[in-house]
Structure 1
Amino acid sequence: MKHLFTILFLFLSASVFSQTKVSGTIKDASGQPVAFANVIFKDSQEGTISNEDGRFYLESDKTYTGVVFSFIGYTTQEVDLTKRSTYTMEIIMEESASSLDEVVVFSGKTSKKDNPALDILRKIWENRRQNGTKKFKQYSYDKYEKLEFDLNTIDSALIKSRVFKGMEFIFEQTDTSNITGNTYLPIFINEAVSKVYGDNILNEEKEVLQGNKNSGFDNNQTLIAFVKDLYSEYDVYDNYLKFFDKAFTSPLSRTGIDVYNYVLLDSAYRGNKWCYNIVYYPRRKNELTFKGDFWVNDSTWAIKEINLQASKSANLNWVREVYIEQEFEVLNDSIFLITKDYFLSDFSFRKKEEARGVYGKRTTLYDNYVFDIPKDKKFYSEQVDPYQYEVYHRPDEYWEQNRMEQLSKDEKGVYKMLDTLKTVPRFKALYNIGATLASGYYEVNNFDIGPIFSIFGYNEAEGLRIRLGGRTYFGQNDPWRLEGFGAYGFGDDRFKYGISGKWLLDRKSRLTIFGGNRRDVEQTGASLTNTNDVLGRSLASSAVISVGANDRLSRINLTTAGFDVEPLKNFVVRITGSYRTLESATETFSIDYRVMEDGIFTGEIRSEIRQPEIEVGLYYTPKRKTSGYGVERTIINDGDFPTLYAGYTYGLKDVLGGDFEYKRLQGLYTQPWNIGGIGRLLSTVEVGTTFDPVPLSLLNPIPGNQTLFSLYNTFNQLDFYEFVSDTYASLHLQHNFGGRIFSRIPGLRNLDLREVIGFRAVYGEISEENKALNASNIVYQAPEDIYWEWSVGVGNIFRVFRLDFNFRGNYLDNPGARKFGVTGVFGFSF
């Protein structure tokens, strides 16, 4: 979501008027809206249908003298046009007496029995896997994709606002959307030409980018990739279509009859194929559904044309409209292949018609299909250089030859106007503000100051804490980066710091070396899976408000050095050497341990740990998408791919004064699941064991949570160090229903709230040898009976907040056990 705030400050340009425009509402004699009526320019095939409120908008580059309105059961009307633009038309349609005896007009909820539209829908289900590229063993095709952003709802108040002072020239010409009827101004465009290869036997697909051109963002692949992922590929034949991290029920879904009404509206030739026209619309409000119509062939039962418009009442944040059109062509009298896909979304902070926002449009064209030419599996596994200079700098002649659709005049204007706009000082200021809010860093020459959101903090060791940091930044594809911070605690009167650096040595294998040092106060044991990230810091260490005594903090001096490499896409091997010293940061917390030599306790007790380690980590993130090719890459589809980690750590004794020798194995598996129309589940399994005796600071405390924030992969009703283990296995489940339950409750359905449930469980053991080493003020207890807790939450409060009610399942007799608690979390989501 952070990129959406930047969109409002993107580069602006001008556009031109269309030749004929009409809009208005269609009603019957009683004043009720007529939904899904046909609106067609006279003597043409250019038309649209009215929405569920009877509203329509239609435009054309050509000049027409009339509009024809028709619908089954009503008399066809023809209205003359006396001027180029005719808005706020009100059409009253009269019932046709001659057709009432022959046609059944469906309204409201349609029956699931004796409905010819449902008979056709069942035929589609039976044949849906026999169409498209799935019909062949292998396939390839050319793809042209055009992405565009437009500032919409342009009016005089916006043009005269102080925000655009000095930039009024960009409003000299605007255009009007044929979907929403709102005025808009194009502000960004990106074009891409690709070659796509696929193998249905190997279940592999590969897209090779051959050309990319955009208006003013030559070096911002992050924004471009983010937009592309926003409009990820989909198949209308699937039961659920995923947009904006939400699963919409497809009108062609096998479960569609439970959430849609279907009406057989018409039958006619579409091209040279006889097709049926079916209109569909939601049975209930507030669900993730569409409205629209589709044309289906009468023999292959393949879709010829389809349009989908998200219901305005759908539980979707920041998006006012979603509209999709797809067209298919016949390959050999029976197989239909997609040739055009158009996707429009209207982003806005409010859903009211007059609210301003930003259109996001994607037009994808497909051509030159070739089938059954196999390529070996190695072809699909070979990595392609994510950035090639010539791909992003193709000459104009290349685009003239490879565009499958010519740019309109307003789209061409985006390229021309940009250079002028970038010279306007006020625009530069607006863009810098947006970039700072989006990234959290403020750019000064080649250095970023931040992150600005972590300047202030508080904990019981440091009291009020002030932190100021920064990083080098010459561009998103920097081959090296330095980063650091300085912090001061007014409670302990101490200065802390951290500095790190990394350098990409080989772009193809992504061989990277890194190192750094940090002296700080930290809540160790805040997560089960260890990390040696020099600049990492958990929220538990700086939460302003906490539950109970949050004093179990340590002073850490951590130095690391290592390298990682990516031999296969999204598979990373990392080797890290580290050295750290640990001691308590408060007088009320102890990490003391008994000293043992040759298996015998010496009677000495130490309060400081010095420990070098070598760690080998394997990271696999299939389906992860990134942008950029520098030492740091931006993850585009964060939270939308599985993560697997396996790590082996070896502790060194008597090397650099190391206190302990030990071996540790750890594993983690996180998987998000889109479960049809009932929401999204996030699951995590963690396991680990330490084979040799070690003191408290080197064990695996079960991560409690004494903050007021809901922290995933922690236990909200546990205190820090309440359970300590050397062997553990944990499970975390969190399911978001997306408002499916609340949408059925009167009084709640219009609030767009979302239901979230959670379950957390952990099993652990602690050896007698580890207990014998302990000289701290922490009493070791492992959850051998499997500790568990559960939660219910209400999300999407004011669109940015979730409130969780947490319940402890067992170990209720532990001293100070918290049986119930309330936590919350802020976040932006669609």
Structure 2
Amino acid sequence: MFSHLIIFCRIVVNAIPFNLLHLFPLQSLSKLLSSAGLLILFFSLPSFGQTTIKGVIKDKHTKQPIPAVSISFSGITGGTVSDKEGFFQIRVSKTIKGLVFSAIGYKKLHYTMSAKESPYVNIELEEASNDLDGVSIVGAKKPRYRNKNNEAVELIRNVIANRDKNRNKQDSTVVFNQYEKLNMSLNMGAAEIPTSSFLRKFPFLLKTADTLRIPGRALVPLFMRERLTMLQETKDHVDDKSVVLDEKQSRVDQGFDEDGVDEYLNHIYQHVDIYDHDISLGSQRFLSPISSLAPEFYKYFIADTIKDVKPYVVRLAFSPRSKQDQLFMGEMLIPLDGNYAVSSVTLYLNKAININWVNDFQASVEYQRDKKGQYYISKSTTAMDLGLFKGKHSLYGIRTVATFDYRIGNNKGVVFPKPRLLSARKKKEDTFNRPLALSSLELNAYKNIDSLKVSPKFKRFMSLSTLVMSGYNKQGPIDIGPVTSFYSFNNVEGTRLRLSARTNEDFSDKWLIDGGVAYGTKDKEWKHAVGVIYSFKPEGILRFPLNSITLKSSYETQIPGQDFSFIEEDNFLLSFKRGVDDKRLYTRKWSGEYVREMENHLSYRVGYRNQEFTPAGGLFFQPASGAPLVPNLQVSEFTSEFRWAPKEQFFQGKRFRRPIKNGYPVFTLRASTAVKGFLGGDYTYQNLSLNIFKRVYISPFGYSDVIVEGGMILGKVPFPLLSIHKANQTYSYQIQSYNLMNFMEFMSDRYANINIDHSLNGLVLNKIPLIKKLQLREVFSVKVLYGGISAKNRPENDPNLYKFITDKDGVQTSFALGKTPYVEGSVGLSNIFKLLRIDYVRRFTYLDHPQVAKSGIRARIHLDF
């Protein structure tokens, strides 16, 4: 069972790579990662000498739970509000004589507490009605909600009008300290504890299980992180600074990559600020209840006015107009001091909402005024119950962030100390200077991981988990793999057998050596590859920010124009392709590259590569003059790349990195120049390209992934050195490739393209009866490619250039784009079984080309919120 918990942390990546798909025990995974009931998670630390009362509020006649019921005390100040399931919980240090329950549309109920009262009460409220003499009204409809002449809406419009004035926008430099703690626990049914095979394997965990925090559930703490950071924020954010003063984590450090999981948890537990236009939750965006568009999508109700404080405070409840929309429910406190500012807010999700992984969510944010009268976040708490499918087990986490020593004004004299990272790795004693005390659940997370580290059963499990998650089997300082590339096949090599390995951190923190050999049973050719990376930093080879040099040498096959960023080209699952796939290049290559990344996520690469291309299969280098076939082509090329990814996040592994899309753009500029005669180079040319990626959120209408790219080649070159556009002949749907274009079908020496992939997040399907229970999401895309080949690079104009590619019958299969762009689009459904996306893809232009598919069905594994 613990193995499935670790697998959860690995597959939370935006899309599972092909080389891992067949390794996941999905049936067992779905059982483990599910969550049990939809309860709101309360985060108050337990204290001694308190009275705790909890219960559920229901409609007396329908027996349905009533959300947003205001609960106050008789005789003393204080109170709370019920959650979306009608559940409430109260902790006070005084004796409670009675409770008062009030909600819009219901009669107020005064409930008297007896001395022997049970701590769990069931409350039933009656609908309010007006009795008329001699008239009986049956089945009367509730009045329709309207914004016009609504006091709650008038109040929220004033809040919206004053939002920018009240929001802390850092008109001058602000310096503050921030403390964060994040605790993750396995959430299981309390009744399962005696029969749990997981707890039987690790009985010491049973002693730390918390059965009081959530009724009927047991929380087994497994992860704990604390971080103290000093931050500086400026109005234009040019001089922003962030220094980690100290950090402490519960870490395994035994093959399982906690740094990658740590970064993904940062992506899930994002900053929550009601003053933003929308609020992030994983990869989704939710419209804030005080955004300018909010009154068109939310309903507002004045739940209570607190009059025992000065000035009075209004408790304003809000909920979506349509419960299926990606919007919050909750309440906010608004002091009636003329500023129309929100002093605190509680947010939670409706159970009908179409969002994956999150079975339960609640966030509470408290604001304080600075000396300029603007509001900043003083403390926020976010709790989530995470699971892929509904069932018995899930992950329950609480993240608390508190702000201290908030200073506004002239802070030029402030000195930022040097960072202290991961203190828990270096020392056993707990010297972390935390401003907030830890609960027993949080303290036990540290104890449990320390005990797991020395468990023989856990060590054996970690070895298996490393193989499942990475495709590599660790043998001392060597990792053997990836196992999904040991066997594959294609039309040129036939059956391809491969054996490869790499060094790991046990070998060195500064050196990485990888290599392998492969053999094709059809072409009877041996291939090989070897690479060495040296890091100038002691923290690790691939740890951000990189500062390393790489040397590689290889003799391999490749599909011209294809770039597999995250998986091996000889992955077994990529062996299955549609249409004709009989053209390959044997590439003999050696290269060197220096990589440097900056803290501001600006990076550059400079290097040199020498490549010799030999055609294979149905590919030939035939001069247009009719001269004999050219056996090979050699290029000698200097390369460079400049990349800027502001506020970039990525899932960082020990030997890999995968980006997390967070709404910020990524700019990549590449430039290379080849020199004829230098170390055997046959051609001189320059290659330039610019790629821009941006995820655009359009709350509440989903989001679009937009890719814009353009490039050009300066110089006279044969077709293998042109820009060969990325085609996809597999049956998977690939975002950055053209899914109905054939390999090497289009080539250009100048081009521009735009790809738009949009998800509506179930905006329409969530409103259709029965269909909405499937929680499907609408997706559609459009891809447009402009390009062309200049006259000097066309073989009909130069007999020394190679003829374009033909099939076995001599029919041309490679072309230059004309005035008409290549266009394809798709419509589809995602979130099928929470794992699958299926698209109907249609090609709209160049339908007269040979061997093309005009339409098709494509699928891909896609895990997302």
What range describes the TM-score normalised by the shorter chain of this pair? 0.7 to 0.9
Question: Which whole-Å CA distance do the structure 2 matches of 1:162 and 1:612 have between them?
Answer: 60
Task: From the superposition, tell whether residues 578 and 270 of structure 1 become closer, same or farther in structure 2 (CA, over 3 Å).
Answer: farther
Superposed displacement of residue 821, structure 1: 1.6
CA contact 1:645–1:667 (8 Å) conserved in 2: yes
The residue that corresponds to 1:76 in the other structure is 110
Matched residue type, 2:164? R
- Residue 23 of structure 2 corresponds to none
**Paired residue for 1:516?**
552
- Structure 2 counterpart of 1:798, one-letter code: F
Scaled by the length of structure 1, the TM-score of the pair is 0.87
Which of 384, 388, 394 lines up with 1:345 in the alignment? 384
User: Following the alignment from structure 1 to structure 2, what is the Cα–Cα distance between the partners of residues 254 and 224?
Assistant: 34
Kindly indicate whether the alpha-carbon contact (under 8 Å) linking 1:109 and 1:261 is maintained by their aligned counterparts in 2: no
Going from structure 1 to structure 2, the CA distance change for 1:810 and 1:696 (only over 3 Å counts) comes to: same
Aligned equivalent of 2:410? 373
Aligned counterpart for 2:287 among listed residues 231, 243, 249: 249
Give the deviation of 1:283 after TM superposition.
1.9
Match of 1:467 in 2: 498
Residue 731 (structure 1) aligned with residue 759 (structure 2): no
Shift of 1:734: 1.0
1:647 aligned to 660, 670, 676, which one? 670
Aligned to 1:597: none
**Pair 1:552-2:567 in alignment:** no
Aligned residues: 798
Give 3-state SS (helix, strand or coil) of 1:175's partner.
coil
Distance 2:143 2:442 in 1: 41
- What whole-Å deviation, never above 9, does each CA across 1:306-340 have from its counterpart, x for those lacking one? 10011112111111011100112344594433211
Q: Would you say the 8 A contact 1:65–1:82 is kept in 2?
A: no
Q: Give TM-score scaled by structure 2 length.
A: 0.84
Task: Name the residue aligned to 1:828.
Answer: 863
Q: Deviations over 1:85-118 (max 9, x none)?
A: 745x422235679999xxxx99796222221110
Q: Tell me how far apart the structure 1 counterparts of residues 767 and 128 of structure 2 sit (CA, whole Å).
A: 37
Tell me: CA distance 1:469–1:223, structure 2 relative to 1, closer, same or farther (3 Å).
Answer: same
| CA positional deviation for 1:513 | 1.1
Aligned partner of 1:186 in structure 2 is 221
Picking from 457, 468, 477, the partner of 1:446 is 477
What is the 5 A alignment of 1:611-626? 611-625=635-649
SS of corresponding position for 1:606? coil
Choose the corresponding residue for 2:847, options 798, 812, 818: 812
Compare 124-133 and 325-334 and name the one that shifted more: 325-334
Q: 2:81 aligns with which of 14, 39, 49?
A: 49
Q: Secondary structure at the match of 1:678?
A: coil
Report the residue type matching 1:75 in the other structure: L
- 1:778-789 matches, within 5 Å, as 778=806, 779=812, 780-785=814-819, 786-789=821-824
Q: Distance in 1 between matches of 2:505 and 2:362?
A: 39
1:187-206 correspondence runs (5 A) = 187-202=222-237, 204-206=239-241
Letter in 2 for 1:4: C
Partner of 1:230: 268
What secondary structure, in the 3-state scheme, does the structure 2 residue paired with 1:709 have? coil
User: Aligned residues: percent identity?
Assistant: 24
Inter-CA distance 36–517: structure 2 relative to 1 (3 Å threshold)? same
Kept after mapping to 2: 8 A contact 1:512/1:631: no
Opposite residue 722 of structure 1, the aligned amino acid is E
- 3-state secondary structure, aligned to 1:815: coil
Greater CA drift, 118-127 or 669-678: 669-678
1:605 aligns with 2:629: yes
CA distance in 2, matches of 1:644, 1:196: 26
> Distance in 1 between the 2:843 and 2:152 partners?
51
Q: Which whole-Å deviations, capped at 9, do the CAs of 1:145-166 have from their partners, x for residues lacking one?
A: 1110011134343442323324
Aligned pair 1:291/2:329, yes or no? yes
2:9 pairs with 1:4: yes
The alignment yields a C-alpha RMSD, in angstroms, of 3.6
Change (3 A) 1:92 1:672: closer
1:317-328 correspondence to structure 2 within 5 Å: 317-328=356-367
Residue type of the partner of 1:34?
I
Indicate the larger mover: 106-115 or 256-265. Answer: 106-115
Give distance in 2, aligned partners of 1:114 and 1:180.
42
- Tell me the SS of whatever aligns to 1:656: helix
Instruction: Quote the residue 1:155 is aligned against.
Output: 190
Residue 182 of structure 2 corresponds to residue 144 of structure 1: no
1:708 counterpart = 2:731: yes
Deviation at 1:79, TM superposition (A): 3.4
**In structure 2, distance between residues paired with 1:339 and 1:95:** 39
Give yes or no for the alignment of 1:543 onto 2:574: yes
- 3-state SS in 2 of match to 1:171: helix
| Alignment-derived partner of residue 336 in structure 1 | 375
Aligned counterpart in structure 2 of residue 363 of structure 1, from 394, 400, 404: 400
Residue number in structure 2 paired with 1:92? 124
Say whether residues 1:667 and 2:690 are aligned partners. yes
Is the CA contact 1:37–1:71 (under 8 Å) kept in the aligned structure 2?
yes
CA contact (8 A) 1:136 1:371 kept: no
Distance 1:427 1:46 in 2: 47
Instruction: Select which of 833, 838, 841 maps to 1:798.
Output: 833
Do the aligned partners of 2:9 and 2:261 also contact (CA within 8 Å) in 1?
Answer: no
1:313 aligned to which of 346, 352, 360: 352
In structure 1, what is the equivalent of residue 278 of structure 2? 240
Match of 1:422 among 426, 448, 453: 453
Residues 315 and 321 of structure 1: CA distance in aligned 2, closer, same or farther (over 3 Å)? same
CA contact (8 A) 2:485 2:571 kept: no
Which among 63, 67, 77 is matched to residue 35 of structure 1? Answer: 67
Alignment of 1:561-640 (within 5 A): 561-566=592-597, 569-586=600-617, 588-593=618-623, 603-625=627-649, 634=657, 637-638=660-661, 640=663
For residue 506 of structure 1, report the CA deviation from its aligned partner: 5.0
Contact kept in structure 2, 1:804 and 1:824, CA below 8 Å: yes
Instruction: Determine the C-alpha separation between the residues in 2 that align with 1:746 and 1:539.
Output: 45
The amino acid across from 1:326 in the alignment is V
Change in CA separation of 1:736 and 1:385 when aligned onto 2, cut-off 3 Å: farther
**2:767 aligned with 1:744:** yes
How far apart in 2 are the matches of 1:663 and 1:172?
Answer: 66
Read off the aligned partner of 2:574 and give its amino acid letter: A
Q: 1:75·1:96 contact (CA, 8 Å) conserved in 2?
A: no
Instruction: Please report how far the alpha carbon of residue 203 of structure 1 lies from its aligned counterpart in structure 2 after TM superposition.
Output: 5.5
- CA, structure 1 residues 816+65, in 2 after alignment: closer, same or farther (shift >3 Å)? same
Q: Larger relative CO (CA 8 A, sep 6+): 1 or 2?
A: 2
Q: Match for residue 598 of structure 1?
A: none
User: Letter of the aligned partner of 1:364 in structure 2?
Assistant: V
The CA distance in 1 between the partners of 2:305 and 2:508, in whole Å, is: 55
Distance 1:706 1:71, change over 3 A: same
Could you list the per-position Cα deviations for residues 49-103 of structure 1 after superposition, in whole angstroms to 9, with x for gaps in the alignment?
223332x1426496866662511432221334748x745x422235679999xxx
Distance 1:392 1:184, change over 3 A: same
CA shift in 2, pair 1:693/1:178, >3 Å:
same
Aligned CA distance change for structure 1 residues 60 and 80 (closer, same or farther; 3 Å):
same
Q: Residues 249 and 177 of structure 1: is their aligned pair in 2 closer, same or farther, counting only changes over 3 Å?
A: farther
